[in-house]
Amino acid sequence: MMDVNIPEVVEEVRALFERYERALVEKDVAVLDATFWNTPHTIRYAIHENGYGFDEIHAHRVRRPPGPGIKTARRRLVITTIGRDLATVNLEFDMRGRDMPGRQSQTWVRFPELGWKVVSAHVSVTEAEAAY
């Protein structure tokens, strides 16, 4: 059975996620690009974008204006690691200018030659408060 949430692996992924979040606000395209697996197989769904493959994701990054983005506050961040080379990051957040929560998910894989990369990502909003 694989180990779940090895503390040092969780912290590695957390640090990379925080780096990515800072790069979003600062529009640091080099960091944003370095976060994602550079392949046609990578997918990123966002509120105003469906990026199929690294090139489409990069093109959106270049077009996006810098600034604070859509997130105002975090509600819940969950990082789950399975073994030492697979992780999911899920964030629920308050959206700027909207009375609805947003959701973000990422799947991270550690490649021997590349290190940690996001292979799939998703950002969406809910219509109203979700009932749990």
The Cβ-side half-sphere exposure at 113, using a 13 Å CA radius, reads 2
Query: Whole-model pTM?
Result: 0.91
* CB 102 within 8 Å of CB 128: no
| Residue 126 pLDDT | 83
pLDDT tens-place values along the chain, 132 residues long: 789 999 999 999 999 999 999 999 999 999 999 999 999 999 999 988 899 999 999 999 999 887 778 888 999 999 999 999 999 999 999 988 888 899 999 999 999 999 999 999 999 988 765 444
Which domains are assigned to the chain?
Answer: 7-125 (3.10.450.50)
